[in-house]
Amino acid sequence: MLATMDEKPRATRENGGYLATPATGCLCEFDEVLTDAETGRTVARYDRETVPLSVALPALIAQHADVDPVALPPMYDCIDVDALEQLVHERADHDVTIRFRYAGYTVEADRERLAVQQVE
């Protein structure tokens, strides 16, 4: 069963699916954010043309974990961010899904969506 994510004290939801974190002023546009109540897996759809994966991922995990994105470890400590962006977004001739772990979450990323689930 999928349910939309609603209120998170450190993040605000605005028109059009915008997620703004007050502490950093980071503005990330998610077209849709859904959480599976049984598994805790959160899937977000976003416009890759306006939001880099390296910005969207920490924002989504921060919302899910109810923390400030600045509190998360740098992504480059666990993955080559430039290579990730190239594999997921710049390969128009292939559909690619990348799975890795970051900040205690299993992450799946492809051209149109980002999924996170806390590792138990």
Q: Cα separation of 84 and 37, whole Å? A: 29
Residue 33 tokens read as 């954010």
pTM score: 0.74
Q: Is 93 helix (H, G, I), strand (E, B) or coil?
A: coil
* DSSP state, residue 96: -
Rg of the chain's alpha carbons, rounded to an integer? 13
pLDDT band at 63, cuts 50/70/90? confident
Average pLDDT over the chain, rounded to whole? 77
Mean pLDDT of 42-62: 88
pLDDT for residue 119: 94
Q: Is 14 helix (H, G, I), strand (E, B) or coil?
A: coil
Other Cβ atoms within 10 Å of 91 Cβ, number: 11
